[in-house]
Amino acid sequence: MKIAGYLIIAFGLVDLIGSYAGFDLWGSLGITLPEVVWRFSSPLELVLGYFLVNLGSRDEEEEPAIAEDDQGAGLTDGDPGEDGE
């Protein structure tokens, strides 16, 4: 998710900077956007990318708790662990 978010943010930045430089990114891709959509395309891309990056960050925060449970499960099977107790 985070990688896709970063790619969309990069695309949005190219679209934003290109619009000020007189470059139509969507037009160069062969896609003709209506004026209203074209005007707000780069902010929408940036917001979508930011949302995906944050969504991917939340998923990563939840995974270590699951990994700790998996690691701790081996100690209940009689594994003495590192300190030999």
14-26 confidence digits (pLDDT tens): 999 998 998 889 9
Instruction: Give the per-residue pLDDT at 83.
Output: 64
Spatial distance between the Cα atoms of 26 and 15, rounded to a whole number of angstroms: 8
pLDDT at 57: 84
Establish if 31 belongs to a structural domain: yes
**pLDDT tens digit sequence for 39-61:** 899 999 999 999 999 998 887 77
Q: What is the spatial distance between Cα 23 and Cα 54, in angstroms, rounded to a whole number?
A: 29
Asked whether residue 79 is domain-assigned, the answer is no
- Non-local CB neighbours of 49 within 8 Å, separated by 6+ positions: 5, 6, 7, 8, 9, 10, 11, 12
* Model pLDDT, residue 48: 96
The answer to whether position 40 is within a domain reads yes
As separate numbers, helices (DSSP H) first and strands (DSSP E) second, the chain gives: 3, 0
pLDDT cut 70: percent of the chain above it: 72
Residue 83 maps to a domain = no
Count how many domains the chain has.
1
Residue 28 domain flag = yes
Domain assignment present for residue 80? The answer is no
CA distance 50 to 54: 6
Enclosing domain of residue 38: 2-73
